[in-house]
Amino acid sequence: MYNNKYVNEWVEQMAQLTQPDEIVWIDGSEEEKDRLTKQALSTGELVELNQETYPGCYYHRTAENDVARVEHLTFICTSKKENAGPTNNWMEKSYAYARLGNLFNGSMKGRTMYVIPYLMGPPGSEFSKVGIEITDSIYVVLNMRIMTRIGKIAMDFLGDSNDFVKGLHSKGELDPEKRFICHFPEDNAIWSIGSGYGGNVLLGKKCFALRIASALGRREGWMAEHMLILGIEDPNGKVEYIAAAFPSACGKTNLAMLIPPEKYKKAGYKVWTVGDDIAWLRIGKDGRLWAINPEAGFFGVAPGTSMKSNPNALLTTKKNTIFTNVALTENKEVWWEGMGVPAPEKALDWRGNPWTPDMDAKAAHPNSRFTAPAKQCPCISDKFEDPNGVPISAIVFGGRRAKLAPLVYQSFDWEHGVYVGATMASETTAAATGKVGVVRRDPMAMLPFCGYNMGEYFQHWIEMGRKIPNPPKIFNVNWFRLDDEGKFIWPGFGDNLRVLLWILDRCNDKADAVKTPIGYLPNPGDIDLEGTDVDLDTLKSILDVNKEDWIEELKSQEEHLGKFDKLPVEVRNQFEAQKERINNL
């Protein structure tokens, strides 16, 4: 037990509700980690991997029906429905406490309750915030240990304050019928029951750092965004930072850990990772927007991660990593589709069933994950733990669009950028349950993560723009244009640096642009193609603004914007102006 009376009182109440056999207060020590790991190994919750090739690494399988975030079971629970807005599932607050209270009642009988104090953000930073997660899962404790800063460090930060986010998690019966992920932004509380999958149960991540934090940010004048943060160092050693928002599984982790093409490497360019998923942004004393990564680890999608696609991510996972729902080989190593090494002759698949390469089924679940300490990343930024964060030069939005959106364009100004973000769309992937390959609008990549009315969220963006004396410029990228045969036109991966450098040139007034109805596009000659297979004509074909396609797009945008009861007039006006420009094309 720590000696913060607010924490102790609340834990006492939650213990009365859930009735655990025992309460363990997490201190974050190595001794504790070893003890809990041993326990998890003895119950089979974790499997030890080959300690020669994967030192400190463990393997976990979730229940078969519990492999992804469950947006249809995720709720924003406020007193009034309009505070959750049109894009969130809503449950009335006291009804939610009562309904979930029934499920939590006695849910930890025969189990141990772990109390995990955790810090989001570096110690000593004005950005940082404390959460306490109560859970009956050792897997959660060991993952939170990687994803956040747990134990004493968090309690020291909290002191005797009552300013912490109260997170209650129980595996319950792991029954999808009794699974709920509920957020109470009015009370800084999260209740999650019935799941053991990371995105639903590592409450520091999506639940706190995005849903609760976005609501806090609005109240307190800052922003919590679904953004990676990367630094680009030029040959003179100058580093500039970009924050980028993409919907789930659009290659955010790859972009955050980009390896420059050979030519740029030789010239002295480097890319540094500050964060791969979440950014908390505040206005700095110098009038710029500054960002931290509130997390301490990466919870990345394994399939597709290879020495070719993302060597930095793969190398990050070589020790002290927990793998979830990938395939397990006979010599206790892990494997997944797209790992870039031959499939094992025999393995156990993510369900634990015998698997051989000739089978039709996938060995690893498409949303299988690694949980790895950020500090192990070969390209981790030396500013990763900086309490001041990093100054952001450009905000980049993007999504997967087979057609329409050009490779890159710059918004005319902040307000136009907010409209670009508010109408962002992408084709769905496997990170959330549901259909794959359908175009869905995902404003600022925050659709599943905004903890309040999304119209008011747009308004908050507009207002932040007015308050930031020297705001970042806002861009949109689309690495995913397809040719008629369904092949990607742009090589992507490291070559995306070529586009990011144009973006930085624009921020530094070093590149010209072509004014189009949708924003500023590069002069094709300003994107360096040397060393790629792309010729100038091909590049031109993905730097196009097609009137007919955009007319269709605007119809769909209009329908989308029509859903917001609190759409800011500024966003509506930006839409109308864009429509007029397209019609005049």
Residues 6+ apart with CB under 8 A from 208: 120, 129, 131, 165, 167, 190
Q: Which of 57, 182, 250, 450 is catalytic?
A: 250
Residues 6+ apart with CB under 8 A from 267: 235
Closest residue to ligand OXD using C-beta atoms: 248
Rounded CA Rg of the chain: 23
Complex with ligand OXD: residue 7 or 431, whichever CB lies closer: 431
Helix intervals (H) in 138-232: 138-147, 152-158, 198-201, 213-220
| Separation between Cα atoms, residue 480 and residue 461, nearest integer Å | 27
| Separation between Cα atoms, residue 18 and residue 109, nearest integer Å | 7
Token pair for 536 = 């100038």
How many degrees, rounded to 5, is the angle at CA 253 between CA 141 and CA 378?
80
3-class DSSP state of 143: helix
Question: Using the rule CB under 6 A, is 431 a contact of ligand OXD?
Answer: yes
| Separation between Cα atoms, residue 560 and residue 572, nearest integer Å | 11
Closest approach, Cβ 444 to ligand OXD, in A, equals 13
Site string for Mn ion, 168-207 (x = CB under 5 A): ----------------------------------------
Closest approach, Cβ 264 to ligand OXD, in A, equals 28
Site string for Mn ion, 105-134 (x = CB under 5 A): ------------------------------
Closest approach, Cβ 69 to ligand OXD, in A, equals 6
Contacting residue, 121, 194, 196, 199, with ligand OXD by CB under 6 A:
199
Residues 289-308 that bind ligand OXD (CB under 6 A): 299
Complex with ligand OXD: residue 4 or 316, whichever CB lies closer: 316
What is the amino acid identity at position 220? E
Question: Using the rule CB under 6 A, is 277 a contact of ligand OXD?
Answer: yes
Complex with ligand OXD: residue 248 or 320, whichever CB lies closer: 248
Closest approach, Cβ 299 to ligand OXD, in A, equals 6
Contacting residue, 32, 133, 225, 277, with Mn ion by CB under 5 A:
277
Q: Are 123 and 157 in contact (CB under 8 A)?
A: yes
Count, residues near ligand OXD per rule CB under 6 A? 6
Complex with ligand OXD: residue 277 or 333, whichever CB lies closer: 277
Closest residue to Mn ion using C-beta atoms: 277
Question: Using the rule CB under 5 A, is 553 a contact of Mn ion?
Answer: no
Q: Which does 199 bind (CB under 5 to 8 A by kind): ligand OXD, Mn ion, none?
A: ligand OXD
| Separation between Cα atoms, residue 228 and residue 283, nearest integer Å | 18
Closest approach, Cβ 201 to Mn ion, in A, equals 15
Complex with ligand OXD: residue 119 or 446, whichever CB lies closer: 446
How many degrees, rounded to 5, is the angle at CA 441 between CA 437 and CA 442?
100
3-class DSSP state of 244: strand
Residue with tokens 């094309």: 585
3-class DSSP state of 99: helix
Closest approach, Cβ 67 to ligand OXD, in A, equals 12
Choose one: 230-238, 277-285, 363-371, 535-543; the region binding Mn ion (CB under 5 A).
277-285
Complex with ligand OXD: residue 10 or 299, whichever CB lies closer: 299
Complex with ligand OXD: residue 206 or 383, whichever CB lies closer: 206
| Sequential DSSP letters for 333-361 | -EE-TTSSSPPPSSEE-TTS-EE-TTSSS
| Separation between Cα atoms, residue 69 and residue 428, nearest integer Å | 13
Q: Which does 59 bind (CB under 5 to 8 A by kind): ligand OXD, Mn ion, none?
A: none
Question: Using the rule CB under 6 A, is 143 a contact of ligand OXD?
Answer: no
Q: Which does 32 bind (CB under 5 to 8 A by kind): Mn ion, ligand OXD, none?
A: none
| Separation between Cα atoms, residue 275 and residue 298, nearest integer Å | 8
Question: Using the rule CB under 6 A, is 275 a contact of ligand OXD?
Answer: no
Complex with ligand OXD: residue 69 or 481, whichever CB lies closer: 69
Task: Provide the CB-side half-sphere exposure for 438 (13 A, CA).
Answer: 8
CA quadruple 322, 323, 325, 327: dihedral positive or negative? negative
Q: Are 455 and 564 in contact (CB under 8 A)?
A: yes
Residues 528-557 that bind ligand OXD (CB under 6 A): none
Q: What is the DSSP letter of 442?
A: -
3-class DSSP state of 125: coil
Contacting residue, 78, 214, 248, 459, with ligand OXD by CB under 6 A:
248
Q: Which does 480 bind (CB under 5 to 8 A by kind): Mn ion, ligand OXD, none?
A: none
Q: Is 467 exposed, middle or buried (0-12, 13-18, 19+ CB in 10 A)?
A: exposed
Q: Are 257 and 312 in contact (CB under 8 A)?
A: yes
Complex with ligand OXD: residue 71 or 549, whichever CB lies closer: 71
Closest approach, Cβ 520 to ligand OXD, in A, equals 29
Closest approach, Cβ 298 to ligand OXD, in A, equals 9
Catalytic-residue membership of 77: no
Closest approach, Cβ 330 to ligand OXD, in A, equals 29
Q: Are 520 and 509 in contact (CB under 8 A)?
A: no
Which residues sit at the interface with Mn ion, rule CB under 5 A? 277
The residues annotated as belonging to the active site are 250
Enumerate binding residues for ligand OXD (CB under 6 A): 69, 199, 248, 277, 299, 431
